[in-house]
Amino acid sequence: MASNPENSLSTYEGNPRIIHRDIKSSNILLDFNCEAKVSDFGLAKLALDANTHITTRVMGTFGYVAPEYTSSGKLTEKSDVYSFGVVLLELITGRKPVDVSQPLGDESLVEWARPLLSHAIDSEELISLADPRLEKNYVESELYCMIEVAAACVRHSASKRPRMGQVVRAFDSLGGTDLTNGMRLGESEVFDSAQQSEEIRLFRRMAFGSQNYSTDFFSHASLNP
């Protein structure tokens, strides 16, 4: 299932490029052959090759939106790559993108997973990330490939993320494709922005049950995708 939607996304890398802007698990549907298809292009944007990015009002679903898009409104195809990485983490871990029932600091799936991704890639010990409901019933080589791809897709820096074509090749070769883009797999950049701080404050206010939070940096936000 994980390899089907990114095949669809990789076909949008032509000219003009299509940027979906709302990649999330509920927008990936199964057809009669149980093949995954990306749906809901209501927020999609076209980008010409002459443009390195589009600056636009932030749209998307809370928990899936790339950090650079949230903070600056700059949209590229790497924004969709980040969102796809979050979907992969959902498949791997069985957790929601945002879960306010988790301990403080662990509400964000991506931030919770970062150190575990690094550990899993370095040690090949996968149990700390794998959905416990699987009860270890998974093919380790396939899960390891998913972890490698997810780690590359959710890098803070858009320029360090792979293109969707690279992601397709990584799944086809079960990890035989170079996704480093100048970084060791599992390595995470130092990232400090007002946007990330605002998200952390939002998670914590919600965890304490406060409804007085701002979502001004999202035009279309949802905690229940």
First to last CA, the chain: 19
- Asked if 106 and 96 touch (Cβ cutoff 8 Å), the reply is no
Q: Tokens representing 14?
A: 């032509």
Q: Please report where in the chains the tokens 């939106």 appear, as a residue.
A: 65
Show the tokens assigned to 145.
Answer: 């490939």
How far is the C-alpha of 181 from the C-alpha of 31, rounded, in Å?
Answer: 34
What lies within 8 Å, CB to CB, of 101 at 6+ separation is: 207
Alpha-carbon distance 69 to 43, whole Å? 14
Structure tokens at 49: 């090759």
* CB-CB contact of 181 with 152 (8 Å): yes
172 given a catalytic annotation: no
Report the catalytic residues: 22
